[in-house]
Structure 1
Amino acid sequence: MKTPITSSEKEMQQLALCQRLIINHSYGCQDALRRDMQRHGFQAISQSTISRLLRILGVIKIRNARGEKIYSLSPQEQPEPSAGRAIGEMVISVEHNAEFVILHTVAGYGRAVGKILDYRALPDVLGVVAGSSVVWVAPRDVTKTPHLHHKIVQTFGLTAVLSQPVAVR
């Protein structure tokens, strides 16, 4: 039986997903963002909730290279790179399915997070591939993927709110 999540946990999950979607995709309108949020498990999310999430995240509209207005995180609202900041603060979310674990980070921190996972040499990790804002972790044994997910969450001192299993489509 699945444990029900509280409204604050749900809001944190919505905020993390909304932030990740805006970082990784271009949205010109709230409806397109709402549809993607629905595809990622928040079927009942309303336009007013999307508007509130955008306000909380400090999202602004900018012109992209093609001159189109798209949503973007305000530079003032994004965490600044800092040697004094814990690397775990730069992890936006940790998700897994039956076959791998994905970490989404603030832009520019993916490689550092990947390096930490490599350095830790977790026995359940077969390999790590890191980009600028995404880290892909392959488990040595796919039957232990949920356990590996839990170990990674612990490694970075994260809460379960930022981590969640995802369905394979």
Structure 2
Amino acid sequence: MIKKEVFKKINEQIKLEYESAFIYKQMSITMATKGWDGFAHWFHEQYKEEMDHAEEMINYLITRGETPVLFDLKKPDLKLEGVLAHFEKAYEHECFVSKSINDIVALAIKAGDYATENFFRRYVDEQVQEEDSVSSIVDRLKLVNGDAGYLMIDRQLGRRE
């Protein structure tokens, strides 16, 4: 059995994963309406990844004999201007998610719940990659001067699988 405080934190993480998905879906929609198909695709892939994470965490709780609890989700409140602002917000959000996952691992260790610690370690590793990926995109966007550079990056990100 998972200790109550660990179970609660995992449920909160599931909510965060779904909210993250909605943030990225909104960003994808915004990019698509502005004609940035590659950026829209990249954000859509992020959306799908976050949805997968939530489902994996739900299945983990069920496997451990728990009943996941779904919460009301917050609507994304994104008032961002331009491509760079969207990716800067994505980076900020990935850092926030990293902290939340690290908190789960720390709590699991404290509770002696090594199965949960082990399950969430892969997300710790993945978050390092996520932060690096988004940070690299932000750095490249800051280097370009004008829409021609954005078009090149847009095309690159449109190839993401």
Asked if Structure 1 and Structure 2 have the same fold, meaning a TM-score greater than 0.5 normalized by the shorter chain, the answer is no
Q: TM-score, normalised by structure 1?
A: 0.28
Higher relative helix content: 2
Q: TM-score, normalised by structure 2?
A: 0.29
Higher RCO, 1 vs 2 (CA within 8 Å, ≥6 residues apart): 2
Higher relative strand content: 1
